[in-house]
Amino acid sequence: MAGASLWKVAFKNISKKPVSFIHITACRCFSVGRQRRNQEHSPFDQNLLKILVCPLSKKPLRYDSARNELISDDIGVAYSIQNGIPNLIPHDGRLIKKYHKTLNVNESNQNS
């Protein structure tokens, strides 16, 4: 019982302050609760394209420097790059409109 109340007190104190996380593999510090810096992004190391693949299709990715994204042309998904680190979580990917239109046309043709 005493341990549970100790957790409640500790959690209340933690939740009021900004919490900092350290991403060990990238050695970068992120802060939750602070405003984001201007959208200045670190340069993406294009040598990573030799080893990175789309997590869904397992096909190579293409770098779009204008939008600072990795594009999977095979399935039409764009993955953002933040601070030089690609976010390859499938849920965070963005459908590309060109692919999305093609998908809708193909689905309507199959229903006919």
- CB 44, CB 81: distance < 8 Å: yes
Model confidence at 108, pLDDT cuts 50, 70, 90, reads low
Report the distance separating Cα 54 and Cα 61, nearest Å: 6
Delineate the domains of the chain, giving CATH numbers in brackets: 46-95 (2.20.25.10)
pTM above threshold 0.75: no
Model confidence at 100, pLDDT cuts 50, 70, 90, reads low
In sequence order, what are the residues at sequence separation of 6 or more whose Cβ sits closer than 8 angstroms to the Cβ of residue 56?
A: 72, 75, 77, 90, 93
Tell the burial category of 20 from Cβ atoms under 10 Å away from its Cβ (0-12, 13-18, 19+): exposed
Q: Is the pLDDT of residue 44 over 80?
A: yes
